Structure formats: C-alpha cells, structure tokens
C-alpha cells in the first residue's frame, strides 16, 4: 500500500521539496509507515502518507493547493483526505490543551473557524502527530535541548488517547532525541531498517 502511495504522492513534486534536509516524499511515506507499524487502520496510514501535502502552520511549503482536494480524495479516499485537511490547517497545539472528553475541537486559524471533532477523529489526529514527530525526530540529529521534553510533555498529556505503540515509540525516541543509539535501538526492535536514514 505504501509503495503505491509513494508513487502517487511523488506526482505532486514532493521529491523536490525539502523537509528539514530531506525530500518531503520521505517524510510523508515514513510517517505513514510508522502508523502502519503501530497497527493503524488503512485510512490513517493513507492520511499519514499525505499528512502535510497542503502545508502546515510550521511547514509552509504547499505541494498541493486546497483547490485540488478532490484529486487527493480520489487517491486516498474522502475520510483519509479529511484527516489530512484537518492536520494541515489545524492549530495542532490545541490537540494537547487538556481536552478530556468529547466533543473535542480544534481551531483552523487560516479559515477563521473552529471545528468539533468526534473521538475517533481526535484520536486519529493525535496518532498522526505522534508519527509525524517521531519520524521528524529520527531525521533531525540536531535538536534544541528543549524539543524532547516539550513533545514528551505533550504526548504524556494525551497518553490515555494514544495507542500503546505510538506512546511508547514517542517516549523512546523523544527521551533520547538526537542520539545515534536511538536509531540503532529502533533497528534492533524492527522499527527501522538499514535503508532508512
């Protein structure tokens, strides 16, 4: 599945867009791969492989403008694309703002609106963020000293809503962020392979 999604996402020029020093394609597909390894549903894996295709608040480069949403829906389905849309437009910090029970909500600053989320969508966005951060951390060997504790705190605040695999992987990576031994450990546990840098 991910091989096909990689072919599809490349059609939008993601190989020529850099995401913290490597092609955006790599980050997108690897985010999907983490979700797949955690046992996520196919819809969420597909969303992972396209998760920042419209750009985000932090990553401003847009491989695809929002006007082309129907094209992405054709490739990954409407449900997966809806997650991608929310992930790209949301103020994702709001996902970690102590929302303890449904209805959950998230603001979309560029649209000037706030959307209510059901529990499944809220949880899917958290898992997507965990995969995004884990992949980013493993490919950014130099990180500010505060980055690991910052994200650890965020994921700790929503621990009960994350899958055990996502939570434990995030803890493992973020506790040792920027250490080469993290990659070695992840390879030993079967999470990374020699062709994954």
- pLDDT, greater one: 87 or 93: 87
Q: Are 174 and 137 in contact (CB under 8 A)?
A: yes
pLDDT band per the 50, 70, 90 thresholds, residue 184 = low
Closest alpha carbon to 11 in 56, 85, 68? 68
Average pLDDT, the chain: 87
What is the dihedral angle through the alpha carbons of 65, 71, 76, 80, rounded to the nearest 10 degrees? 50
Give the list of residues 6+ apart from residue 178 with CB closer than 8 angstroms, or none: 137, 140, 141, 142, 143, 148
Q: Are 110 and 88 in contact (CB under 8 A)?
A: no
pLDDT of residue 176: 73
Q: What digits encode the pLDDT tens for the residues 49-79?
A: 999 999 887 777 788 999 999 999 999 999 9
Least confident range from 87-96, 100-109, 129-138: namely 100-109
Q: What digits encode the pLDDT tens for the residues 5-30?
A: 999 999 999 999 988 778 999 999 99
pLDDT of residue 96: 86
Whether the predicted pLDDT of 167 surpasses 90: yes
Q: How far apart are CA 13 and CA 64, in angstroms?
A: 9
Domain spans of the chain, in order of start: 2-188
3-class secondary structure, 90: coil
What is the CA 182 to chain-centroid distance, rounded?
A: 19
Q: How far apart are CA 70 and CA 67, in angstroms?
A: 8
pLDDT of residue 126: 96
Would you say the pTM of this structure is higher than 0.85?
A: yes
Residue 105, strand partner residues: 116
């Amino acid at each position: 599945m991910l091989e096909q999604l990689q072919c599809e996402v490349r059609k939008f020029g993601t190989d020529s867009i850099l995401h913290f020093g490597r092609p955006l394609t790599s980050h997108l597909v690897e985010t999907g791969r983490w979700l797949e390894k955690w046992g996520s549903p196919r819809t969420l894996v597909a969303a992972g492989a396209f998760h920042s295709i419209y750009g985000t608040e932090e990553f401003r480069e847009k491989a695809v403008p929002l006007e082309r949403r129907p094209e992405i829906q054709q490739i990954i389905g409407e449900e997966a694309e809806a997650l991608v849309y929310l992930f790209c437009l949301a103020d994702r910090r709001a996902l970690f703002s102590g929302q303890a029970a449904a209805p959950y909500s998230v603001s979309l600053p560029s649209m000037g609106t706030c959307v209510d989320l059901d529990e499944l969508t809220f949880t899917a966005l958290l898992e997507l963020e965990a995969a995004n951060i884990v992949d980013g951390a493993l490919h950014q060997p130099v990180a500010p000293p505060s980055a690991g504790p910052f994200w650890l705190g965020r994921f700790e605040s929503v621990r009960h809503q994350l899958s055990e695999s996502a939570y434990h992987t995030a803890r493992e990576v973020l506790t040792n962020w920027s250490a080469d031994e993290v990659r070695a450990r992840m390879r030993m546990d079967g999470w990374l392979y020699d062709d994954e840098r």
